[in-house]
Amino acid sequence: MTSVAHAKHDAHGDAHHAPMSFWQKYIFSTDHKIIGIQFLFVSLFFLLVGGLLAMQIRWQLGFPGQPMPGGGILPETMAPGGVILPEYYIQLVTMHGTFMVFFAIMPLLVGVYANFLIPLKLGAHDMAFPRINMWSFWLALLAGLIMLSGFFMPDGAPRCGWTMYVPCSARPDLSGVTTAQKLWSISIVVLGLSSVMGSVNYITTVINHRAPGMTWFRMPLSVWALFITAILGVLALPVLQGAAIMLLFDQSIGTHFFDPGAGGQPLLWQHLFWFFGHPEVYILILPAMGMVSDIIANGSRKPIFGYHSMVFAIIGIAFLGWIVWGHHMFMSGMNPTLGSTFMVSTLLIAVPSAVKVFNWLGTMWRGQLHFHVPMLNAIGFVSMFTIGGLSGIFMAATPVDIPIHDTQFIVAHIHYVLFGGSLFALFAAITFWYPKMFGRMMNEPLGKVHFWLTLITYNMTFFPMHIIGMGGQMRRIYDPTIYDFLKPQQYLNVFISYSAFALFAVQFLFAFNFLWSLKFGKKAPLNPWNDNGLEWSLPNPAPHGNWAPATPNVYRGPYEYSSPEATDTDFLPQTRKLPTDRDPVPATLSGGH
Amino acid sequence: MKVRIFSVVGAMLMLTVCSKGDQRTAANAASRTVDTTAPAAAPAAAATTSAAGGTISGKIKFTGTAPRNPAIDMSEEAACKAKYKTTPTEENVVAGPANALANVFVYVKAGVPAGQTFTAPTTPVVLNQDGCRYHPHVFGIMVNQPLEIKNSDPLLHNIKAIAKKNRPFNISQPNAGMQTSRTFNAPEVMVNLECNVHGWMKAFVGVRPDPFFAVSGADGSFTISGLPPGTYTIEAWHEKLGTQTATVTIAGTETKTANLTFAAH
Amino acid sequence: MRWWLPDAGSTFAGPIDTMFTVILILTGIALVIVEVGVIAFMIRYRARPGGRAFYTHGSTRAEVIWTAIPAVTMIVLGLVSNHYWVLMKDKKSIPANATHFGVHAKQFEWQVTYAGADGKLGTDDDFTVRNQLHIPVNQPVAVELSSEDVIHSFFVPEFRVKQDAVPGMHITAWFQATKTGEFEIGCAELCGMGHYKMRARVFVHTPEEYNAWLTQQASGGAE
């Protein structure tokens, strides 16, 4: 039973009353849920693009110089006779990273779930600025299309790594790419605008639009994580935009920010990029951690272990994340003393992450574990992210970084935290909130098969990369067999490639499940996961306006599972009023409207 | 208001994206075939000449002592080193018997009647990379005549064309048998070709609008034929020793001799 | 079937490899705790009919323990690491008796300049060789890195040496080889289409071989 506060008088008039056309409702929607779903479809498309690029990379690394099956459709400038050219290979590695980081993982975690979950989990009717929110989506889509167009330019896509180091990226005569490099800068500026608009919305909504009773420390960890992530975004993205504009100017209007011949500094780019880049990777993991917390508590039927520690760990990670960027530059030629300071901060940032892992274990400890698909993927996240986080310690220790920097060991680390971490969390989140988005359930047995097959093929793909990295295989090289010292481990590249092809194929199970269930999935009951969150007090799919014109009351924290206050059941929703509960006083001025 | 913002932003985008250097002239399609037979060394570019017309021929020599051509250490590229019985040297100054100077690009710099156009032949000029060297080292090609670049070595070569009047290009050929085709759209003397993986690999191509050019052979001799009557300035270009010019008048179908001498310092 | 770092070839390999092993043990312990914990909990605490989870919001004592132990471990690791970091990378650590070589990185080759008979770089008797670095064994060597065009990175896996070469910067990296033989140099920073082909070799000679090679170079060049 939910108790709902009376609708507050709204002087602005209610835009929800006017009937909306198809375009207003589904295309140019200002409803945060529709916007979240739009982000979902577009980002899954870019995830597919990133995956296709990865398949080509793995082909070349496993079978250097061999014609690729299907490669005949590529133009001669990329792969004559299906043989991937070196200049195309470096476009592949560059754009794989670019699409995955900026147009797949970031929008999937933030564009989708910050948009979809924040108002629902706080009891709000929508975001603070719905129209700016709509612009945030369309700008992100525009940025993605601009970036994609790079491949269709006469001299191809950018190719200096997703990290775009200068002078390579600033000098078309040295890189070979002109137009698409400028489009990269423009795309990044547009994407940054999208991110900042989104962040402004998320931050304002969390601060101002919490339902009565939703105090700061009753917010779910997913919302805490998305809130902190939004702060990171609004501060970090503009730095990248600035750097991208400086790069664009160096290429087009004759400035020399990064040109050493004219007094510029190549290292300036690295400092700017990584000052953005390190908070960016926390943007790519914190929302995942937050959602995983919600799901593990739900799956364990237990409160999250150490809720306050978890909040402080999120804040600690975000704060420390601003002062570790130089660990990407240990070999760059910057003053080694700076290396020492960055090493200290980097080693320390391992601590709050460790705290979170132990708290997830603590949540599972003595629980009643239900292994639904989201729970399986969330546990997979914990296992795989732990490996990724621990491998980071090797690099943080600067002398050990010397042999492993810019090798496949780093690539292994990146993929353990971004795939083993963020992507598993996304499989969990997509499955968990699917009924809220679409009113149907994804197929459970298929989801379980997808999880186990993914877990196996994923580890087969990425774990051996640690080994070939230790063996010295450098990043972004077109043909490892050029080097005598790498020839003995080439068989591992073959193994990794086959595993990667299998991993990619397995994802079609998820894609099929996702698309098929839209139409044919089991109709979702009201609260399919017996979850405590506010969103589950609404029908599935959630209606436009959420609880409008009413606002829910919140009586407790988000993780009251197996509470002694409600022994007839093992969950206690935040909105359920017990006889001993009193209605909260509205905490915010706008009252959630 | 919105329209104004969009047009300003759109204009700014267009200005930055469409800056100088992006105006593409004719697209350069690459050849599809991957030829696995070992190609022979390409002959020097043959200029198409008409049956009638005068001829300028001569011998190129140099005075002084030719500088030593440094040896090329190909130890780091075993597959290329294996193709040589004696140590290969750079081709800075290729001297023949009696101080003959080879690899001199000779062309008609002035004197061709204005407005006269010549059709480029469709047969390509072949540039072969064999033993980590370009064959030929110096050659001529007509505007819009195809240049077919072949890799006869089982390793990566890239062909970087450093051009000012033509669009520069940089293409890679990682495997033996790969073939790519390019054309030049504007006359340019000379376009430098280099391989960045093998720093000693250099070639020079003279792009001309007419067929009146030649490259001196090992004995220093060159021939330019098919010239209509007129007074011509010919220029001889050498990669290290600079240029020399001469003036020749052709009245009918005779052969005029023009010998040119460079100073080797 | 070698699944480890390459064979040690310099004085840096000992400390780096030892640190690597220590970190592997520490992270291995953490990994085992977490993964065994996950699997054990999945088995032991799976939902059973009629069961109820243990309602607790946490334990401050547990938080303190599992915050303090990682923190202390990281601090100790940092202190030990820094000692070696300074030794390997600080300018002041370059031995005064190191033999200096100029290594100029360029798309896509390494131009190695030798000091010549006078033993000083930057004088008229210097000579440059492509893609071959000849050095004496058991003596400190300093490579003065520069770049012609984009950022490259000088990397010799067996020596545990890596240093970016940045255009506009003059960066010196030092090491001391402990084994004679041939080793490969790779470029460890994406520098263009020929990045993978920027392979060069280091020849570590006995003192006699090294002097013989220098003499041969002075008299006319490679064979």
- The pLDDT tens digits of the residues spanning A477-529 come to 999 999 999 999 999 999 999 999 999 999 999 999 999 999 999 999 999 99
Q: B148-170 burial string, b = 16+ CB within 10 Å, else e?
A: bbbbbbebbbbbbbebeebbebb
Average pLDDT, rounded, for chain B: 85
Residue B61 tokens, joined? 């020599």
Residue from the list B71, B75, B197 with its beta carbon closest to the beta carbon of C194: B197
Looking at the domain assignment, is residue B14 inside a domain?
A: no
Residue that the structure tokens 């509960």 belong to: A581
Closest CA to C183 of A468, A485, A401: A485
Question: CA-to-CA distance for B15 and C36, rounded, in angstroms?
Answer: 60
Residue C106: partners with Cβ closer than 8 Å, 6 or more residues away: B196, B199, C147, C148, C149, C152
Averaged pLDDT for residues A421-448: 98
- The residue of chain C with its CA nearest to that of B70 is C221
Q: How far out from the chain centre does Cα B121 lie?
A: 16
Which chain B residues are within 8 Å of C131, Cβ to Cβ?
76
Nearest C-alpha of chain B: how many angstroms from C183?
12
- Give yes or no for C19 touching A (CB within 8 A): yes
- Check if A505 contacts C (Cβ < 8 Å): no
The tally of domains found in chain B comes to 1
List chains adjacent to chain C, taking adjacency as at least 3 C-beta pairs closer than 8 Å: A, B
Q: Within an 8 Å CB–CB cutoff, is residue A176 touching chain B?
A: yes
ipTM: 0.97
Q: What is the pLDDT of residues B112-124, one digit of tens each?
A: 988 889 999 999 9
pLDDT score recorded for residue B35:
34
B114 inside 8 A of chain A by CB: no
Percent of chain B residues topping a pLDDT of 90:
74
Residue B10 covered by a domain: no
* Predicted confidence (pLDDT) at residue A13 exceeds the cutoff of 70: no
Query: In this structure, is the dihedral angle defined by the CA atoms of residues B12, B13, B17 and B23, taken in order, positive or negative?
Result: negative
Contacts of C223 in chain B (CB under 8 A): 87
**Out of C30, C162, C191, closest to residue A403 by CB:** C162
**Residues A76, B22: C-beta atoms closer than 8 Å:** no
Choosing among B16, B76, B195, which should be mutated to test the A contact, i.e. which has the most A CBs within 10 A?
A: B16
Measured from the Cβ of residue B36, the count of other Cβ atoms closer than 10 Å reads 9
Could you give phi then psi for residue B171, rounded to 5 degrees? -125, 150
Q: What is the pLDDT of residue B222?
A: 96
- Partner B contacted by C197 (CB < 8 A): yes
Residue B27 confidence (pLDDT): 34
Q: Is the pTM of this model over 0.80?
A: yes
Return d(Cα C14, Cα C26) in angstroms, integer. 18
Query: Distance between CA A62 and CA A450 in Å, rounded?
Result: 25
A253 inside 8 A of chain B by CB = yes
Chain B interface test: which of C104, C106, C109 (most B C-beta within 10 Å): C109
Phi, psi of A576 (to 5 degrees): -80, 125
Structure tokens that stand for A283 in this block: 């943007």
**Residues 6 or more apart in contact with residue A493 via CB below 8 angstroms:** A61, A62, A468, A473, A480
- Is C201–B76 a contact, with Cβ atoms under 8 angstroms apart? yes
Predicted confidence (pLDDT) per residue in A494-503, tens digit: 999 999 999 9
**CA nearest neighbour of A129 among A2, A32, A272:** A32
Judge: A369–C42 Cβ closer than 8 Å, yes or no.
yes
d(CA A535, CA A539): 9
Residue B8 lies in a domain: no
Least Cα distance to A482 among C3, C195, C151 occurs for C195
Task: Give the model's pLDDT for residue B8.
Answer: 59
Instruction: Out of C193, C199, C200, name the one closest to residue B158 (CB).
Output: C193
Chain C nearest C-alpha distance from B84 (Å) = 12
* Cis geometry, peptide bond prior to residue C108 (ω within 30 degrees of 0): yes
Round to whole Å and give the CA distance between C22 and C28.
9
Task: Give all strands of the β-sheet with C127-130 in edge-to-edge order.
Answer: C127-130, C109-114, C99-106, C140-147, C171-176
What number of other Cβ atoms are within 10 A of residue A325's Cβ? 22
Q: Tokens in use for A175?
A: 């890189």
Q: Are strands C132-136 and C200-205 parallel, antiparallel or unpaired?
A: parallel
User: Average pLDDT of A542-571?
Assistant: 95
pLDDT tens for each residue of A56-71: 999 999 999 999 999 9
Please tell me which of the candidates A65, A172, A182 has its beta carbon nearest to residue B175. Answer: A65
Helix (H) or strand (E) holding A197: helix A179-208
User: Measuring CA to CA, which residue among C80, C22, C42, C37 is closest to residue A354?
Assistant: C37
* CA–CA dist A582, A80 (Å, integer): 73
Query: Which partners does chain B have (≥3 C-beta pairs < 8 Å)?
Result: A, C
How many angstroms separate the CA atoms of B243 and B214, rounded?
A: 15
The predicted structure's pLDDT at residue B34: 33
Structure confidence by residue, pLDDT tens digits, A346-380 = 999 999 999 999 999 999 999 999 999 999 999 99
| A85 touching chain B per CB within 8 A | yes
Pairwise CA distance, residues A227 & A225, whole Å: 5
Of C111, C132, C192, which has the smallest distance from its Cβ to B76's Cβ? Answer: C132
Copy the structure tokens of residue A527.
């609260």
By the 8 A CB rule, do C136 and C204 touch? Answer: yes
The helix (H) or strand (E) run that includes residue A221 is helix A221-252
Which residues 397-426 in chain A show a CB within 8 A of chain C? 397-400, 402-403, 405-407
Instruction: Name chain A contacts of C74, Cβ cutoff 8 Å.
Output: 347-348, 350-351, 393
Backbone angles phi, psi at B63, to 5 degrees: -105, 155
Residue B13 near residue B128 (C-beta atoms within 8 A): no
Which residue blocks in A1-159 are alpha helix, DSSP H? 22, 32-62, 86-98, 106, 113-122, 130-149
The tokens describing A549, both together, are 């014109």
Confidence of residue A25 (pLDDT cuts 50, 70, 90): confident
With respect to residue B169, please indicate whether it lies within any of the assigned structural domains.
yes
Check which CATH number belongs to the domain holding B163 and give it.
2.60.40.420
Torsion angle defined by CA atoms of residues B2, B4, B9 and B12, in that order, rounded to the nearest 10 degrees: 170
The answer to whether residue B156 neighbours chain A at the CB level (below 8 Å) is yes
CA distance between the termini of chain B:
70
> Residue B51 has what pLDDT?
55
Confidence check: pLDDT of B16 > 80: no
DSSP state at residue A271: H
- Shortest Cα distance, chain B CAs vs residue C222, angstroms: 6
The dotted CATH code for A30-537 is: 1.20.210.10
Tell me which chain C residue has its CA closest to the CA of residue A481.
Answer: C196
DSSP A262: G
Mention every residue, 6+ apart, whose C-beta is less than 8 A from residue B83.
B130, B131
For residue range B75-97, list pLDDT tens digits in order: 999 999 999 999 999 999 999 99
Q: Would you give the DSSP letter of residue B166?
A: S
- Distance, in Å, from the CA atom of A559 to the CA atom of A565, rounded to the nearest integer, reads 13
Beta carbons of B156 and C194 less than 8 Å apart: yes
Q: What is the residue type of A240?
A: L
For residue A336, give how far its alpha carbon lies from the nearest alpha carbon of chain B (Å): 32
Q: Rounded to an integer, what distance in angstroms lies between the CA atom of residue A49 and that of residue A51?
A: 5
DSSP letter at A441 equals P
Q: Tell me which residues of chain C, numbers 158 to 197, contact chain A at a CB-CB cutoff of 8 Å.
A: 158, 160-169, 171, 183-184, 186-197
Portion 57-86 of A in contact with C at CB < 8 A: 85-86
pLDDT tens column, B202-227? 999 999 999 999 999 999 999 999 99
- Residue A75 pLDDT more than 80? yes
Range of the domain at B138: 23-263
Chain A nearest C-alpha distance from B247 (Å): 38
Q: Is C30 on the interface with A (CB under 8 A)?
A: yes
Contact call for residues C40 and C189 (beta carbons, < 8 A): no
Q: Is C73 on the interface with B (CB under 8 A)?
A: no
**Residue found under tokens 């000098």:** A171
Spell out, as residue ranges, where chain C has pLDDT lower than 50. Answer: 222-223
A559 neighbourhood in chain C, CB within 8 Å: 57
Strands ordered across the beta sheet of B202-208: B138-142, B202-208, B188-194, B157-162, B169-173
B252 part of contact set with chain A, CB < 8 Å: no
* Residue-range domain boundaries for chain A: 30-537
Share of chain B above pLDDT 70, in %: 81
Cα nearest neighbour of A183 on chain B: B17
Compute the average pLDDT of residues A541-552. Answer: 94
Q: State the pLDDT at residue A21.
A: 84
Cβ of C63 under 8 Å from any chain A Cβ?
yes
Q: A439: left (phi > 0), else alpha (psi -120 to 50), else beta?
A: left
| Cβ pair B135, B200 in contact under 8 A | no
Contacts of B252 (CB under 8 A, 6+ apart): B54, B229
Contacts of A171 in chain B (CB under 8 A): none
Measured CA to CA, the distance from residue B13 to residue A189 in angstroms comes to 11
What is the distance between the alpha carbons of residues A265 and A257, in angstroms, rounded to a whole number? 7
**C-beta separation of A460 from A495 below 8 A:** yes
- Whether B3 is covered by a domain: the verdict is no
Tell whether the torsion through CA atoms of A434, A436, A438 and A444 is positive or negative.
Answer: positive
In whole angstroms, what is the distance from residue A428 CA to residue A448 CA? Answer: 11
What subunits touch chain A, counting only 3 or more CB pairs under 8 A? B, C
In one-letter notation, the amino acid at residue A128 is: A
Say yes or no to pLDDT of B38 above 80: no
Q: Cα-flanking dihedrals φ and ψ of residue C180, to 5°? A: -80, 165
C interface test, pick of B68, B74, B198 with most C CB neighbours within 10 Å: B198
Look at strands B202-208 and B188-194 and give their pairing: antiparallel
pLDDT band at B10 (very low <50, low <70, confident <90, very high): low
Distance of CA B133 to the CA centre of its chain: 14
Model confidence over A395-433: pLDDT tens digits?
999 999 999 999 999 999 999 999 999 999 999 999 999
Q: Do B73 and C108 touch (CB under 8 A)?
A: no
Whether B49 shows a pLDDT value over 80: the answer reads: no
Residue B168, C-beta contacts closer than 8 angstroms, at least 6 positions apart: A173, B160, B161, B162
State whether B158 and C194 contact (CB < 8 Å).
yes
* pLDDT reading at A108 higher than 80: yes
Burial class (CB in 10 A: 0-12, 13-18, 19+), B122: exposed
**C131 CA: distance to closest CA in chain B (Å):** 7
Q: How many CB pairs under 8 A join A and C?
A: 298
Mean pLDDT of chain A: 94
- CA geometry: angle A192, A409, A401, nearest 5 deg: 90
Is residue A344 scored above 60 in pLDDT?
yes
Residue in B19, B148, B159, B173 to test binding to A, most A beta-carbons within 10 Å? B19
